[in-house]
């Protein structure tokens, strides 16, 4: 009998080890947030400040998403900063105070809501983020990669990760990819809508960049590397492509803090033949000097100044070729942990190869190559990952199909909503989605939407309400889940919503709503806006649209 019991105990132990979280008692909280992106960590803090017990689960070891992962130049200079208060304001102010406490004066003041350029070092942003989570009493757990979700009817009862399972009254999906909502069986979409579905002028195919007069095929008629498509497709139709991913690099030319950019592991010059042809075509058309100058603008990355002689290196939206691996994000949303790791490495390898190409390829002038060779990674940033950013810039992934789909008209025509939880105002702005080789001997980048702004002298988007309904799944699908990052929107609308500043204020409001719903024991869809709004205002959210907006002109 004892031997039989021993065998049963042993079997149970084995099952527990094979299915972590299934055979053990779940850790519980009022609110569980999955994903420590800016929307995720602000959701956690917002809920905790409403008195809820909160667990913040991060699948990787990196906390803070892009805010601490290399995006060191706040895009809020293109937004109506007076509407970005609450945790957004507090987070940036505490970064400023961190510098001031060390005797460093920044060239801006967060309390002044103008269009000044705000920037900060990744390690400072990380220090402030972790401190705010700790002070709020949020229990932060890293390495908790989502494996499955258990439900009872429309309610999530358990979230199972690689290291333990978790129960809560209300869950928040703070991931860039909408992983929790997908696992919970909530409706979602990915890709670009056709123009007819929501009547969006910026939907469908977008050809805003100049056509490159080069052949995109090799001698065998096959598309060259870095080409993603060989046909344009129907101009008004949608597709499954999304805007390019890249890294935000922490760079410097300062010898004391500079480390060499690593050599790519498997560099093949042939991978960049399409760029080489483009540069040669420019030189042939314009002459050596003008052609090389034009090439430097068309094949480049953007660099923004950061304190302590550092720079934030970004994919250049206006360039023909840059840090973004166009088409490389295909499959990212639904890939498992190993699949995403492989896509991450592919983007990292491309980044290193592109930088190596700029530094060494004889198609560029000696002067241009020498200038590129001055760049290095920062010795005091991302030490645990070889000074390379640990976060891939996921600009867009899955999007919830919720109670209200934010679309172009909600931004440009009907910005006012009765259930506003935040104000977003970043320009509608999409990076490349496809790179097409045409049979007529040309190549074109497609999908770029250049910033839709109020006026040229102020690069500021149109302010609009983000309604509570846009972060709510349909009640029959899930009634205790909020989705503030992969929220309900079209590709065009996500091209505006996709910015960290917007996700921070939306995330904070979702955390407040989650705490209230958990306290009342009600479905998140049943939470009265009359009860939610006062708590949003108490946490210093701004819900009134500015009255100095330049009217949108159709066809602009």
- Return the closest-CA partner of residue 155 out of 440, 426, 480: 480
Nearest CA among 297, 283, 272 for reference residue 357: 272
Q: What is the DSSP string of 441-503?
A: S-EEEE--EEEE-SBTTB-----EEEEGGGG---TTT-SSEE-SSS-SB-HHHHHHHTSHHHH
CA–CA gap between residue 47 and residue 486 (Å, rounded): 19
Q: Token pair for residue 88?
A: 């957004």
pLDDT confidence of residue 24: 58
Residue linked to tokens 């917007």? 502
pLDDT tens for the 556 residues of the chain, in order: 333 333 333 333 333 333 443 445 789 999 999 999 999 999 999 999 999 999 999 999 999 999 999 999 999 999 999 999 999 999 999 999 999 999 999 999 999 999 999 999 999 999 999 999 999 999 999 999 999 999 999 999 999 999 999 999 999 999 999 999 999 999 999 999 999 999 999 999 999 999 999 999 999 999 999 999 999 999 999 999 999 999 999 999 999 999 999 999 999 999 999 999 999 999 999 999 999 999 999 999 999 999 999 999 999 999 999 999 999 999 999 999 999 999 999 999 999 999 999 999 999 999 999 999 999 999 999 999 999 999 999 999 999 999 999 999 999 999 999 999 999 999 999 999 999 999 999 999 999 999 999 977 778 999 999 999 999 999 999 999 999 999 999 999 999 999 999 999 999 999 999 999 999 999 999 999 999 999 999 999 999 999 988 888 876 5
pLDDT, position 458: 76
Instruction: Look at residue 555 in the predicted model and tell me its pLDDT.
Output: 66
Q: Enumerate helices (H) and strands (E) in the chain, giving the number of each.
A: 14, 20
Length of the chain: 556
| Structure-block tokens of residue 524 | 């998140």
Are 262 and 386 in contact by the 8 Å Cβ rule? The answer is yes
Q: Which residues contact 457 (CB under 8 A, 6 or more apart)?
A: none
**What is the CB-side half-sphere exposure of residue 395 using CA atoms within 13 A?**
31
Which residue in this structure is represented by tokens 């410097």? 252
User: In whole angstroms, what is the distance from residue 439 CA to residue 103 CA?
Assistant: 60
Domains of the chain by range and CATH? 26-190+451-538 (3.50.50.60), 249-385 (no CATH)
Q: Which of 397, 204, 368 is nearest to 292 (CA)?
A: 368
Evaluated on CA atoms 549, 93, 381, 305, the torsion sign reads positive
Q: What sign does the CA torsion over 394, 400, 401, 404 have?
A: negative
Handedness of CA 362, 367, 368, 370 (dihedral sign): positive
Contact 125, 72 (CB under 8 A): yes
For 224, 229, 318, the CA distances from 214, given in Å and listed in that order, are: 11, 15, 19
Distance CA 530, CA 136 (A): 25
pLDDT at 548: 86
The tokens of 127 are what? Answer: 């220090």
Q: Would you state the pLDDT for residue 170?
A: 98
């Amino acid at each position: 009998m004892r031997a039989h019991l021993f065998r049963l105990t042993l079997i149970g132990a084995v099952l527990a080890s094979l299915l972590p979280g299934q055979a053990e008692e779940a850790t519980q909280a009022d609110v569980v947030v999955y994903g420590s992106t800016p929307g995720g960590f602000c959701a956690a803090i917002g809920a905790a400040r409403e008195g809820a017990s909160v667990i913040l689960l991060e699948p990787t070891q990196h906390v803070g998403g892009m805010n601490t992962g290399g995006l060191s130049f706040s895009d809020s200079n293109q937004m109506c900063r007076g509407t970005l208060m609450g945790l957004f304001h507090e987070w940036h102010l505490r970064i400023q105070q961190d510098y001031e406490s060390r005797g460093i004066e920044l060239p801006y003041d967060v309390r002044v809501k103008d269009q000044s350029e705000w920037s900060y070092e990744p390690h400072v942003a990380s220090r402030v983020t972790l401190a705010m989570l700790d002070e709020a009493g949020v229990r932060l757990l890293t390495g908790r990669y989502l494996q499955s979700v258990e439900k009872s009817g429309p309610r999530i009862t358990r979230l199972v990760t690689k290291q333990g399972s978790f129960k809560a009254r209300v869950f928040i999906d703070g991931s860039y990819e909408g992983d929790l909502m997908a696992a919970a069986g909530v409706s979602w979409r990915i890709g670009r809508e056709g123009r007819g579905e929501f009547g969006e002028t910026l939907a469908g195919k977008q050809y805003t960049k100049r056509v490159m007069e080069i052949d995109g095929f090799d001698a065998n008629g096959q598309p060259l590397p870095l080409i993603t498509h060989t046909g344009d497709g129907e101009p008004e139709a949608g597709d499954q492509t999304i805007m390019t991913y890249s890294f935000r690099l922490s760079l410097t030319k300062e010898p004391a803090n500079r480390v060499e950019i690593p050599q790519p592991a498997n560099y093949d010059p042939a991978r960049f033949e399409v760029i080489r042809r483009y540069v040669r075509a420019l030189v042939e058309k314009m002459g050596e000097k003008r052609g090389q100058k034009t090439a430097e603008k068309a094949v480049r990355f953007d660099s923004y100044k950061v304190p302590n002689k550092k720079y934030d290196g970004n994919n250049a939206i206006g360039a023909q070729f840059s840090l973004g691996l166009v088409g490389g994000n295909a499959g990212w949303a639904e890939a498992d942990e190993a699949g995403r790791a492989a896509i991450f490495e592919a983007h990292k390898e491309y980044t290193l190869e592109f930088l190596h190409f700029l530094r060494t390829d004889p198609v560029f002038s000696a002067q241009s190559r020498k200038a590129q060779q001055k760049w290095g990674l920062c010795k005091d940033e991302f030490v645990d990952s070889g000074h390379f950013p640990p976060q891939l810039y996921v600009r867009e992934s899955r999007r919830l199909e919720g109670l209200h789909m934010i679309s172009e008209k909600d931004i440009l025509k009907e910005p006012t909503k009765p259930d506003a939880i935040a104000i977003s105002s970043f320009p509608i702005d999409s990076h490349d989605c496809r790179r097409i080789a045409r049979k007529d001997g040309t190549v074109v980048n497609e999908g770029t939407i250049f910033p839709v702004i109020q006026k040229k002298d102020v690069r500021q988007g149109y302010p609009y309400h983000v309604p509570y309904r846009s972060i709510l799944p349909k009640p029959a699908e899930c009634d205790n889940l909020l989705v503030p990052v992969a929220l309900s929107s079209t590709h065009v609308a996500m091209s505006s919503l996709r910015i960290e500043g917007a996700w921070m204020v939306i995330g904070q409001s979702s955390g407040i709503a989650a705490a209230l719903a958990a306290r009342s024991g009600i479905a998140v869809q049943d939470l009265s806006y009359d009860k939610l709004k006062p708590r949003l205002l108490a946490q210093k959210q701004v819900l009134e649209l500015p009255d100095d907006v330049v009217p949108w002109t159709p066809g602009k």
